[in-house]
Structure 1
């Protein structure tokens, strides 16, 4: 076993600092070095995939993927192909493409819709025909949130509502010429389209990514903030309260949209932690994974149950490229590095046996 690990990043992107790397990359590198491991950073390019594969195969026992969905200029296909090939020859994956796709894609909300995590009236549209047939019915009932399956920083996540809220449609689909108000989570900018034009705009998420669209209810208590569980394995390490900006149309809790982040110890939110720990095995079961990712997050929005008591609704999971908040740098990366080394050593021990 080589005491060497590589971090994969991509050139460019809004997540980079003045040194061209993510802000938390060098603290992670130093954490491994303090534990006696060498940690190297490589940029991934499609045209370098063969060289990266051979170099990683020859020099490292594991890799850490630190690339946000959407940051690779030509998509994730060749990158994931390279990661899978490395994993197949025994290089330990943090995270494996299966984890990123089965948990980090928004369709995990569809897989969990019959569990305690997700809203029951959450739908997945697997074809443009299905989307155009069902979404006008869905939107006629209430405000909705439409999400592309893979993405980050709120791109392709839209809050959609009828522009003239005095109109009622009950059990009828909205006419295609109905004006709808659409707010994108990336920066809370608002657009007004006919329903027909908006659906055409969203079709690109299905065509470009050969993927599905997720349609879930808009939860008004997002105004109170979103609660992010920051996890190492199955252990909650922190709760991040993400409060949307106070502008009129704001519903996004991304930092890019102006949301305010406040970090708390898990014990400050005992009900959330209890709810998560009781139900977390369902996530792994429904995603058909064998174990939890090492570094991941689960985001929750408050709603009311039938007794008007608080309940937590899962809004998304991220395990593709979880950032370490600046206020946690100094200790969190050490816990992460120790967990990664433990998994690599455990995998090496199993191979010997």
Structure 2
């Protein structure tokens, strides 16, 4: 909505700039596809912010069955902002990503672009950036055989590990695992029949005690196609909560804080079934004082390192994305350090209201930087 008292010339200038058209693409049930209006979805605020900077907005409900209809629609717009999870209704994004790559090649601005998601929006980014100051002891298992050979040696040290499938969401394919037996000096690897405690991060899961071999068998589906597993050492400060850092391009625009998160343990000595389910995430502006060190690290150190490591430039960063951090050990000055546990690009929502105006401005800037003729 225009502010009262805005000069008439500014209004005319803004309306004259409404030469760009953007689609908001979201998953839909095939039978409901035609009835969805963007004003009745959770993205109504995004649409309003885009219109506020003079961008026309349309809804693009997506199903794999109607991919050619989606192609025709996207080729008629200047840009598309995509909100579809890596796994949506038990389907992956292979058909959608192929479509987005095709329309991007025709000059349509796509955020987030599938190529960028592959570089920084999968768990492999944890391995590729493990030497950065947000990193920790991180392994990558490209095959089931590599997992069978290396994980038993990691577990023999007695440290819990967290395994994560390369692409997933909602805690699916994320496991905490640790040996149930004390560390034995000189024991270089756990035996296949060794007992381990495992807990899936998917909501409703409880801790189980099974054999290592049984757990390895459970992991086999994660290696289908180009699948792989990433292995990080467990962070003991998980119980202090998780901080989500929201960004528009290369600027931090807000924070989320979740005090009780996935894999939060039961109280010491209590039944594992009493472990709490994840709690709500609360949202904060980028000015929250105790998160300023994290903001400074992200904007002034980590983003440059990330882009250099992944061969990206800042203009390729999505118009909205986020990074999840657990607390690492405090440094010598008593300041919290942070350990990266995930970057999300595919379907970042909800986010702080403070992100809406920067998102709209960044979208307009991307469109103006590379205008195209619509078909």
Q: TM-score range by the shorter chain?
A: 0.7 to 0.9
Q: CA RMSD in A?
A: 2.6
Equivalent residue for 1:127?
143
Equivalent residue for 2:256?
240
DSSP-derived class of the 1:6 partner: strand
Equivalent residue for 2:155?
139
Equivalent residue for 1:226?
242
Q: Counterparts of 1:282 and 1:167 in 2: how far apart (Å)?
A: 37
DSSP-derived class of the 2:170 partner: coil
Confirm or deny: 8 A CA contact 1:10 1:72 kept in the other structure: no
DSSP-derived class of the 1:205 partner: helix
Instruction: Give the number of aligned pairs.
Output: 332
- 1:20 Cα deviation from its structure 2 partner: 9.3
For residues 239-275 of structure 1, the C-alpha deviation after alignment (integer angstroms, 9 at most, x for no partner) is: 222111676079xxxxx94223233333412221222
Equivalent residue for 1:110?
127
TM-score by length of 2: 0.81
Stretch of structure 1 that moved more, 277-286 or 186-195: 186-195
2:177 corresponds, among 160, 177, 180, to: 160
2:298 paired with 1:272: no
1:193 corresponds, among 210, 219, 222, to: 210
2:325 paired with 1:300: yes
Q: Counterparts of 2:89 and 2:365 in 1: how far apart (Å)?
A: 30
2:92 paired with 1:92: no
Confirm or deny: 8 A CA contact 1:11 1:20 kept in the other structure: no
Q: Counterparts of 2:49 and 2:331 in 1: how far apart (Å)?
A: 47
Q: Counterparts of 2:162 and 2:176 in 1: how far apart (Å)?
A: 4
Confirm or deny: 8 A CA contact 1:239 1:263 kept in the other structure: yes
Confirm or deny: 8 A CA contact 2:181 2:195 kept in the other structure: no
| Inter-CA distance 244–337: structure 2 relative to 1 (3 Å threshold) | same
Confirm or deny: 8 A CA contact 1:4 1:37 kept in the other structure: yes
DSSP-derived class of the 2:371 partner: helix
Q: Counterparts of 1:217 and 1:270 in 2: how far apart (Å)?
A: 26
2:74 paired with 1:51: no
DSSP-derived class of the 1:339 partner: helix
DSSP-derived class of the 1:270 partner: helix
DSSP-derived class of the 2:49 partner: helix
Equivalent residue for 1:258?
278
Confirm or deny: 8 A CA contact 1:185 1:257 kept in the other structure: no
Confirm or deny: 8 A CA contact 1:147 1:213 kept in the other structure: yes
Equivalent residue for 2:310?
287
Q: Counterparts of 1:311 and 1:346 in 2: how far apart (Å)?
A: 37
2:371 paired with 1:348: yes
| Inter-CA distance 257–210: structure 2 relative to 1 (3 Å threshold) | farther
Equivalent residue for 2:10?
none
2:200 corresponds, among 167, 181, 184, to: 184
| Alignment map for 1:305-344 (pairs within 5 Å) | 307=332, 309=334, 310-325=336-351, 328-329=352-353, 331-344=354-367
Stretch of structure 1 that moved more, 286-295 or 216-225: 286-295
Confirm or deny: 8 A CA contact 1:298 1:314 kept in the other structure: yes
Q: Counterparts of 1:62 and 1:152 in 2: how far apart (Å)?
A: 25
Q: Counterparts of 1:136 and 1:67 in 2: how far apart (Å)?
A: 36
DSSP-derived class of the 2:51 partner: helix
| Inter-CA distance 118–343: structure 2 relative to 1 (3 Å threshold) | same
Confirm or deny: 8 A CA contact 1:112 1:286 kept in the other structure: yes
DSSP-derived class of the 1:210 partner: coil
Q: Any gaps of 5 or more consecutive residues in structure 1?
A: 13-18, 251-255
- 1:100 Cα deviation from its structure 2 partner: 1.2
